[in-house]
Amino acid sequence: MDSDDLEPKRPTLGAPKDLDVMSIEALGDYITELEAEIARVRGMITSKEAARGAADAFFKK
């Protein structure tokens, strides 16, 4: 068994949106949605880093 098989598959983004057909307002809304998603992902990274740090500290004793 390859160790890569144990890693969860990375999610793929959907097909890129056709920005040419979007209005300025829709593009602004799209940016807002993307920024919210980026903030959510950054929060998850911070949470996972804290959990990893706690586990590392526990097992290094």
Q: How confident is the model over 17-60, as pLDDT tens digits?
A: 999 999 999 999 999 999 999 999 999 999 999 999 999 999 98
Query: Which residue is associated with the tokens 């983004």?
Result: 13
Q: Which residue has the tokens 């990375």?
A: 10
Give the model's pLDDT for residue 3: 66
Please give the DSSP secondary-structure letter assigned to residue 60. T
Q: Which of 3-27 are b and which e, b meaning 16 or more Cβ less than 10 Å from the residue's Cβ?
A: eeeeeeeeeeeeeeeeeeeeeeeee
Taking the complete model, does pTM exceed 0.85, yes or no?
A: no
**CB distance 30 to 17 below 8 Å:** yes
Other C-beta atoms closer than 10 Å to the C-beta of 57 total: 9
